[in-house]
Amino acid sequence: MTRPAQPVVVDTTKSTHARLEPLTLSDVRLSDAFWEPRRRLNSEKTLPSQYRYLEETGRLDNFRRASGKLGGAYQGIYFNDSDVYKWLEAASWTLAGGDDPALERMVNTAISEVEDAQEPDGYLNTYFMFERARERWTDFDLHEMYCAGHLFQAAVAHYRATRSTRLLDVATRFADHICDTFGSGEGKRLAIDGHEEIEMALVELFRVTGDRRYLEEAEFFISARGRGTLGDPYGRFDPSYSQDHEPFSEQDEAVGHAVRAMYLYCGAADVYAENGDPALAAALERLWKNMTTRRMYVSGGIGAHHEGEAFGKDYELPNERAYTETCAAIGSVMWNWRMLAIEGGARYSDLIEHTLYNAVLPGVSLDGQHYFYQNPLADDGSHRRLPWFGCACCPPNFARLLASLPGYFYGKSEDALWVHLYANSEAVFHLEGHDPVLLRQSSRYPWDGAVEITVEGEGEFSLMLRIPSWCAEGATVAVNGGQSEAGISPGSYFELRRAWNPGDTVRLYLPMPVRLVESHPYVAENRGRVALMRGPLLYCVEVADNPGFDLRELVLDGEAPSARYAPDLLGGVAVLEARAHIVEPDSGWNENLYRVVGPNSGDHGDSTREVVAIPYYSWANREPGAMLVWLAGR
């Protein structure tokens, strides 16, 4: 085993089979009124408070126990190490954005505990210590590799943010141990983890260190799936729960635990980006199609079943009983990000935007301190966010996404700057053969679709502007105050190629009329219902704005709703206003649940009133009350 003493720095991730390359996190700066205040909350409030939870719940003490500094029993669930690693990743990405000595101290303390807990052979998992040491690598649904993967991701983030190799050294020692232990070669064990995560983490480790062994180990884990390797010694699960029902290259339906599925698809996409295996690309395409056209909520959320936190069947999308775990939405953003890098297709960045606003963001309260694990699309007022969970995967997952969010806004290819997301921001692009180009974006997005982009740079290259698929008509792009360019198609990147001069200004205009959206008639609960959308945002109605009647009795009338910006509501949101009928079940129902259809069926009392809809991400931030996304009507 020969490894360079210092990692080979491969700082950005232009992969052999990827069209796009991400920007270094420190090259992008958000300054908008929507995301940046949330990021500030994340660094100032959320990360310190999550660190306190890591201490108070014994998650850091588990490391101290493992290194012999503390006695007592292991505390919490067997995969609690991963929360420390996810927090470390979030904190590291935050440090990439600027100095924060207090946060840095917490990071260094946590890293010290992690370092001290590592075994001489590189193994590291604080659950499998002492009396459980003999159980290492015996039950592959106990998340040992999953935790390892989160360690690797944290290490990559910490190295990229700080250039320190402290955590990376821990990670590579453990990765080497895993590479020595598992694989298809002689003397190695055939095994995969029940909860995917290590696959993408190993590819990232390869990208930072240049060590192909890590890539090969990721390839092994992907190819070993669905071959009966995982097994189920305790009869707990169907193999599809862990996407182990068939080889990955043969899979064509998004099944099982939704977070596991997303992480597997991330790993397969990462491997494809490096090795170009067409069988992986074909499977990813089939899975993406199945998920997005059969098994995805209108929010972008995924996971229809509480049982197994899993995908349901095609068109099975219950609203109040939706599972739609916040982590699964985050996983979808991560997967689509990788697909976007590979193909440069706007369908992926469209879905990233949509999922961020409508499936990830609802998972956290406006104060940034309370979380949803599940995100139903209808509720009776009983579902409320909590500050932490025994199984606390979502809070630090959200924190690491928010911390790394600027990285999702832009990308580059050989001689093109790509603009994926819209918000006040600046980014520096290093294109080969060009001086650095500074791009400044100004917008009131997501409330208004006017975007101004100033290009501070020189030379001929392309500016690729995402024209969202939600902007079906009327999008315009004008340079330096001129006429709008022609050929602007929704759901694609509009290429503006020219010889740029410093200060050139591009005005993009994306009209945001209110849209009434219907779902495929096979979705049983949504028949005869519509969802309201405007720009990238999905809307819902909540009792707080619509008191005095049961939301289930609301039937929209035919008129188009109107939008109005309400600066003092829910941190400032555009609300939608619509006319609706309130249709009470007729008195003939009495206490009945079923009755014979008679002449009075459908003959209801009726009144009309104005209803107010708010962005779905902002629900459940006031007094508890019912909420509804899909409204009867049209």
Smallest separation, CB 621 to a copy of itself (Å): 22
Active site residue 559: no
CA distance 570 to 85: 32
Instruction: Report whether 614 contacts 498 (CB < 8 A).
Output: no
Smallest separation, CB 287 to a copy of itself (Å): 14
> Which of the following is catalytic: 147, 179, 393, 540?
393
Cβ neighbour number for residue 397 with a 10 Å cutoff: 29
Instruction: Give the nearer residue to a copy of itself in terms of CB position, either 120 or 390.
Output: 390
Instruction: Give the nearer residue to a copy of itself in terms of CB position, either 188 or 306.
Output: 306
Smallest separation, CB 242 to a copy of itself (Å): 18
Smallest separation, CB 130 to a copy of itself (Å): 21
- To which H or E segment does residue 632 belong? strand 631-632
Smallest separation, CB 490 to a copy of itself (Å): 11
Instruction: Give the nearer residue to a copy of itself in terms of CB position, either 202 or 523.
Output: 523
Instruction: Give the nearer residue to a copy of itself in terms of CB position, either 201 or 556.
Output: 556
Smallest separation, CB 531 to a copy of itself (Å): 8
Secondary structure (DSSP) of 236-261: ---GGGGT-SS-GGG--S--SBHHHH
What stretches of 254-355 show up as alpha helix (H) in DSSP? 258-275, 278-294, 326-343, 346-355
Q: Measured between alpha carbons, how far is residue 283 from residues 186, 290, 489 in Å?
A: 29, 11, 28
CA distance 593 to 629: 24
What stretches of 194-242 show up as alpha helix (H) in DSSP? 198-209, 212-223
Instruction: Give the nearer residue to a copy of itself in terms of CB position, either 210 or 491.
Output: 491
Instruction: Report whether 166 contacts 132 (CB < 8 A).
Output: no
Backbone angles phi, psi at 222, to 5 degrees: -70, -45
CA distance 388 to 370: 7
Whose structure tokens read 């992969």?
15
* Residues binding a copy of itself (CB under 8 A): 235, 289, 292-294, 296, 298, 305-307, 312-313, 315-316, 318-321, 378, 380, 390, 472, 515-525, 527-528, 530-531, 552, 583, 585, 589, 591-597, 601-602, 632, 634
Instruction: Give the nearer residue to a copy of itself in terms of CB position, either 97 or 312.
Output: 312
Which residues, in sequence order, are CB contacts of 589 under 8 Å at separation 6+? 595
Instruction: Give the nearer residue to a copy of itself in terms of CB position, either 104 or 518.
Output: 518
Tokens representing 187 are 């003397």
> Which of the following is catalytic: 309, 325, 343, 426?
309
Smallest separation, CB 332 to a copy of itself (Å): 14
CA dihedral for 118, 123, 125, 127, sign (positive or negative): negative
Q: Which amino acid is at 337?
A: W
CA distance 297 to 360: 13
Smallest separation, CB 374 to a copy of itself (Å): 11
Secondary structure (DSSP) of 149-171: HHHHHHHHHHHHHH---HHHHHH
Smallest separation, CB 313 to a copy of itself (Å): 7
CA distance 629 to 379: 9
Instruction: Give the nearer residue to a copy of itself in terms of CB position, either 160 or 294.
Output: 294
Instruction: Report whether 88 contacts 171 (CB < 8 A).
Output: no
If 0-12 CB within 10 Å is exposed, 13-18 middle and 19+ buried, where does residue 621 land? middle
Instruction: Report whether 165 contacts 153 (CB < 8 A).
Output: no
Cis before residue 561, ω within 30 degrees of 0? no
Secondary structure (DSSP) of 533-546: EETTEEEEEEGGGS
CA dihedral for 103, 108, 111, 117, sign (positive or negative): negative
Instruction: Give the nearer residue to a copy of itself in terms of CB position, either 278 or 588.
Output: 588
Question: What's CA 3's distance to the chain center, in Å?
Answer: 33
Smallest separation, CB 593 to a copy of itself (Å): 5
Active site residue 309: yes
Tokens representing 594 are 């079923």
Instruction: Give the nearer residue to a copy of itself in terms of CB position, either 218 or 296.
Output: 296
Annotated catalytic residues are 309, 393
